[in-house]
Amino acid sequence: MVKGSEKTSSSFQRKQEKKYILTIQELANKKCIRFTVEPTGYAIKTIKNIFLIILIVYLSLYYSFRYIDLDGYLKWLYCAFVISIINFKIRAPTVSTFTVLKDHGVQISNISGWNCLPFFINKLWFVEYEFIPRNEVVDIIINEGFQPGFQVVFYLALIVKKQEKLKLIFPVCIRNLLFF
């Protein structure tokens, strides 16, 4: 191919950024496979969230203490209350894991904790596990859905016996999915 013979128009091409990192691990003598989806820039997002929390806490305490006269320990109690409320609202980015256990079933786990805690503590305290036995799994499918604005997205889902809805495997990858 001759250099410069390829014509591209930047106005029509849209670069798709990868928003998540997929890690695949084979465990326990190939009887277990683990798929982990972690947002790209996990550490940067966590640091941004921590700075946002510090800014919100500082501004709320600054304006609160200007108009409210509190004594010693009540100020510290108020500070702890504000920090905990903001930590509940601004969570760490979610990390999802899908584990296939040969001859047993599948396990789905999601970790989304507090920004001020290290990841291993969030993993201990805030992990949500869901195990689905093999005999309840009908099929694993790649389905398509619509996001607002009618953008078509593809997602991985499980069909489980006695459930009316599909079970999304990596729900953090899909926001505002519309089911008709």
For 21-32, what is each residue's pLDDT tens digit? 888 888 877 889
pLDDT tens digits, 134-153 = 999 888 888 887 777 777 87
pLDDT at 172: 63
Distances (CA, A) of 8 to 4, 5, 11, 12, 18: 10, 10, 9, 8, 22
Q: What percent of the chain has pLDDT over 90?
A: 8
DSSP code, position 103: T
**Measured distance CA(84)–CA(26) in Å, rounded:** 38
Q: How many CA atoms lie within 13 A of 82 on its CB side?
A: 19
Q: What is the pTM of this model?
A: 0.67
The mean pLDDT of the chain is 77
Copy the structure tokens of residue 143: 């389905």
User: Rounded distance, CA 116 to CA 87, Å?
Assistant: 8
- Residue 107, C-beta contacts closer than 8 angstroms, at least 6 positions apart: 97, 98, 99, 101, 129, 130, 131, 132
Q: Please state, in angstroms and rounded to a whole number, the distance separating the CA atoms of residues 123 and 116.
A: 13
How far apart are alpha carbons 167 and 180 in whole angstroms?
15
Cα separations in angstroms, 121 against 126, 127, 133: 8, 10, 28
Residues listed for the chain: 180
More confident residue, 145 or 103: 103
- pLDDT, residue 109, reads 92
**107: pLDDT strictly greater than 70:** yes
Grade residue 174 by pLDDT with cuts at 50, 70 and 90: low
Confidence of residue 85 (pLDDT cuts 50, 70, 90): confident
> Is the pLDDT score of 131 beyond 90?
yes
